[in-house]
Structure 1
């Protein structure tokens, strides 16, 4: 376990429970104390999902990816975001985000992209469109399990960070979100019990976006995306504390630092 200053813990926000001490202040926008994520292991990160992964409705198009990358590099990590698309004004803006896609469609895109980039971290946020379309919500966890297990087949060194879905302003969709999140949480626990490298990032929590952070009832504004970045970061710290990271598989002409 990485050392945590107990004085900081005594004056920390609720994000502390994720392992990221955050002294309370006037305008919290992100972790004030950035715990390092094994600087000796480059992070080749694939953000995988639909429109929230893509950064829809954020002012820059970066969504959570820009602030998350900034936190990771500030904490000492070498980062290369990978994916088949580019979106946003940030450096290293590669992403595997497909607006409007349901879980199975995201999985199909992953099948094409993951073998190419072989990430050692995959950030998975998918299922909101299944909920909006009321698409067989009762079996959403099974579809997600197929997706997640396929990631390890294609990139055996990958840590999977599986997130819950964020709050939705549509009452019917929100009920589906809650049902899907319960399945995803159980899935993460099941896979972890099998010894697989996975952590759960709970976006539907007291530190996640609230309805007031949504621009259109589904997608966050910039403040909401910052909250997502904070939770991804905290989950990645948890994975480091559990020693889940492996160095990415070398790929010719692919640098460790996507911002170089």
Structure 2
């Protein structure tokens, strides 16, 4: 009879060789998620030198990790960013976005929607409660068109003194709309704005960083839940 170790070692060598050639879970290609940046001129990137606004710093932050990748989607293309797709319409109000959302979603088929909208309504004198009602209708339509979509809402950026109260009232209402993950906009300083409405590159960097943090929380939770939409009220930490 051959000694036991003479039988075992060749077998172990074969198993080790096979294991070394088998891709591990850590080396697997990360999932790519379709993200629709939706809104007005801030989504478009007005005020940034790249013309991409928050979309570039968000892209860069995602590219620096290995848990997921992003595919921006939308009918528009703009900015110095590897993926230029978006749905940011300069000067548009909530109702104008609502009128087009069905066709956009049918084409884009996003997993996530990053929604920032409403400042143009308020700037043109809309009542904050009425604007928030239109916002809620837009959100409901997105869920109807794309069941299971994950919406991340960023509140309006505190802006000129003449709109501070309206912005605060609007944000207080939209943060209670059922479904989306609500994210407070960073409190940008005057040095992070190019005018009373639009951030500069530094301001967009802070917005992109905040969105990256929340998007990553939501995507990790979705993966852990077996690719099911996670609860939107994920504890911060």
TM-score, scaled relative to structure 2: 0.78
Equivalent residue for 2:181?
A: 199
Equivalent residue for 1:226?
A: 205
Q: Over aligned residues, Cα RMSD in angstroms?
A: 2.0
SS in 2 for 1:186: coil
2:127 maps to 1:136: yes
Equivalent residue for 1:92?
A: 83
The equivalent position to 2:192 in structure 1, one of 213, 224, 245, is: 213
Equivalent residue for 2:144?
A: 153
Higher relative contact order (CA 8 A, sep 6+): 1
Equivalent residue for 2:153?
A: 162
- The alpha carbon displacement at 1:242 in A equals 3.9
SS in 1 for 2:47: coil
Number of matched pairs: 198
Where structure 2 has 5 or more consecutive residues not aligned to the other structure, the ranges are 1-28, 229-237
SS in 1 for 2:113: strand
Question: In 2 relative to 1, CA 155–88 (structure 1 residues): closer, same or farther, beyond 3 Å?
Answer: same
For 1:216 and 1:200, locate their aligned partners in 2 and report how far apart those are by CA, in whole Å: 25
**Kept in 2: contact 1:199–1:238 (CA 8 A):** no
Equivalent residue for 1:68?
A: 58
Equivalent residue for 2:171?
A: 181
Question: In 2 relative to 1, CA 245–144 (structure 1 residues): closer, same or farther, beyond 3 Å?
Answer: farther
Question: In 2 relative to 1, CA 153–135 (structure 1 residues): closer, same or farther, beyond 3 Å?
Answer: same
- The alpha carbon displacement at 1:157 in A equals 3.2
For 1:219 and 1:74, locate their aligned partners in 2 and report how far apart those are by CA, in whole Å: 27
Question: In 2 relative to 1, CA 41–246 (structure 1 residues): closer, same or farther, beyond 3 Å?
Answer: farther
Question: In 2 relative to 1, CA 161–230 (structure 1 residues): closer, same or farther, beyond 3 Å?
Answer: same
Question: In 2 relative to 1, CA 181–90 (structure 1 residues): closer, same or farther, beyond 3 Å?
Answer: same
TM-score, scaled relative to structure 1: 0.71
For 1:246 and 1:81, locate their aligned partners in 2 and report how far apart those are by CA, in whole Å: 19
- The alpha carbon displacement at 1:241 in A equals 5.1
Offset from partner CA, 1:167-226 (integer Å, 9 cap, x none): 10x222121111111011121xx33xxxxxx311110x4xx4223311011000000000
2:218 maps to 1:239: yes
SS in 1 for 2:115: strand
The structure richer in helix per residue is 2
For 2:221 and 2:35, locate their aligned partners in 1 and report how far apart those are by CA, in whole Å: 18
Where structure 1 has 5 or more consecutive residues not aligned to the other structure, the ranges are 1-38, 192-197, 248-260
